[in-house]
Amino acid sequence: MMKVECTRLPSGLTVVTERMPHLESVALGVWIKSGSRNETVDEHGIAHLLEHMAFKGTRRRSARQIAEEIENVGGEVNAATSTETTSYYARVLKDHVPLAIDILADILTESTFDEEELRREKHVILQEIGAADDTPDDVVFDRFAETAYRDQTVGRPILGTPETVMSFTPGQIRHYLGRNYTTDRMFIVAAGAVDHDTIVRQVQERFSSLPVAPLSPPVLDTARYTGGDSRETRDLMDAQVLLGFEGRAYHARDFYCSQILANILGGGMSSRLFQEVREHRGLCYSVYAFHWGFSDTGIFGIHAATGGENLPELMPVIIDELRKSSTSIDQQEIERARAQIRAQLLMGQESPAARAGQIARQMMLYGRPIPNEELMERLSGITIERLTDLAGRLFFDTAPTLSAIGPLDQLAPMSDILSSLNTESAAHALAG
């Protein structure tokens, strides 16, 4: 039987484990409640750069030694940066957990941020930025976030810009690290063949030098959804189009309702958008809906990829499906969406890496692991009336966000989209 155990150390660092019987491996990592959104204006991209630099040498290990030591035992180590979180994680056999903890502690407390390594890594990230700019389905999402949250850190691309990345110094990286990588916002999570008390003891020994309190108050401005219109005409084979609306934060009453609505509209091959737009009308080769939650805001979006000649018909059909969702939803659709979410939860528990990430997100968002039964109970309270009411408020009461890239000559102007949504308040908001 799987069992989640949680210990908060005197330093404020939280350790959470879940023993998964019959496994020989462990997935473990350090999750920090800090990401690109915690950067100051002149730090754009530093959270992502720090994630790269953590593997580029410590006082005890060179960059090559970090890679070799974990791979010599058949393990792997990696990291990721998002808008509100950063994670460093490893996957090893159970006998090598002490090594994984030692390496993770080493890169997070003893990194040297060598000038020459920093110079090389800056150029690696410049290539990453260039590759993203050459990928239309990446660009359209970056523009989408920037347009939805105009002139705010929550809407900025995580990678930063070539100018900001090239400007960073080791001192700036250390300052960001000291301000954000503190025990009050860090969680060490392990899932698999674990012994909780042993991991707690090892973590206490190796992570003792972490700063306990921020050197200065964390940077986090309240998000303000603006909406807007971003179009970039490029000579491409197809057009990438995103239509979005203000969603709901993780703690909002309608968060889970928004997740169900996104699933019904565009969560799979049986969803409304897939069936109507792709299967019935053949207007695109890809269409889906999504809902992203943040700590104080959210974004609901529909993404479609299609030939430019289909745009005149595509947008009205999508908007018509949004309108239908505000007046009619079947109970069977709700049950199917619940079943898909439940399956994702349970399938995730079969992977120690997925399970560790799941627990870490719950700790950062809610301060405790959330049992599956509790999650399903929240979903069970969602009714047809709640969904149609939410759809009406989401799609027809707030300013939309449009982001598009490709051959856009036949994409309707924003004034026509606003008119078809009948959103006077949205038009006023965008005009302001």
Q: Give the Cβ contact number of residue 334 at 10 Å.
A: 21
- CA distance linking residue 367 with residue 411, whole number of Å: 45
Residue 427: its pLDDT value, please? 45
Burial of 405 (0-12, 13-18, 19+ CB in 10 A): buried
User: Which is nearest to 409 in space by CA: 303, 287, 310?
Assistant: 310
Q: Which helix (H) or strand (E) holds 404?
A: strand 401-406
| Amino acid identity for residue 183 in this structure | T
> What order do you get walking across the sheet with 401-406 strand by strand?
228-233, 401-406, 239-246, 298-306, 286-293
Within 8 A by CB and 6+ apart from 281, the residues are 313, 317
Tell me the catalytic residues: 51
Residue 165: name the closest of 122, 216, 111, 119 by CA: 122
Fold category of 228-431 in CATH: Cytochrome Bc1 Complex; Chain A, domain 1 (3.30.830)
* Dmax (CA) of the chain: 63
Q: What are the pLDDT tens digits along the chain (432 aa)? A: 568 999 999 999 999 999 998 999 999 999 999 999 999 989 999 999 999 999 999 999 999 999 999 999 999 999 999 999 999 999 999 999 999 999 999 999 999 999 999 999 999 999 999 999 999 999 999 999 999 999 999 999 999 999 999 999 999 999 999 989 999 999 999 999 999 999 999 999 999 888 887 655 565 789 999 999 999 999 999 999 999 999 999 989 899 999 999 999 999 899 999 999 999 999 999 999 999 999 999 999 999 999 999 999 999 999 999 999 999 999 999 999 999 988 988 888 889 999 999 999 999 998 999 888 888 888 888 999 999 999 999 999 889 999 999 999 999 999 999 988 875 444 444 444
Q: How many CB atoms lie within 10 A of CB 51?
A: 20
pLDDT at 345: 85
- Of 210, 52, 182, the C-alpha closest to 127 is 52
What local confidence, expressed as pLDDT, does residue 277 receive? 96
Backbone angles phi, psi at 285, to 5 degrees: -100, -10
The label of the residue with tokens 């958008």 reads 273
Residue whose token pair is 């009205």: 316
**pTM for the whole structure:** 0.91
Q: Is 291 left (phi over 0), alpha (psi -120 to 50) or beta?
A: beta
Phi, psi of 275 (to 5 degrees): -70, -45
Residue 348 is encoded by which pair of tokens?
């995730």
Count each helix (H run) and each strand (E run) in the chain, helices first. Answer: 17, 11
Domain 3-206, CATH class in plain words = alpha beta
Confirm if 302 and 318 have CB atoms less than 8 A apart. yes
| Start-to-end C-alpha separation, the chain | 57
Residues of the chain with CATH 3.30.830.10: 3-206, 228-431
Write down the pLDDT at residue 215.
Answer: 57
pLDDT at position 63 is: 94
DSSP β-bridge partners for residue 90: 28, 77
Closest by CA to 21, choosing from 309, 352, 329, is 352
Helix orientation angle between 170-180 and 46-53, rounded to the nearest 10 degrees: 100
Q: Is there a contact between 330 and 278 (Cβ–Cβ < 8 Å)? A: no
The full DSSP string for 139-197 is HHHHHHHHHHTTTSGGGS-TT--HHHHHH--HHHHHHHHHHH--GGGEEEEEEES--HH
Contacts of residue 275, Cβ cutoff 8 Å, sequence gap at least 6: 269
**Positive or negative: CA dihedral 408, 414, 420, 421:** positive
Residues β-bridged to residue 406: 233
Is the CB of residue 241 less than 8 Å from the CB of residue 314? yes
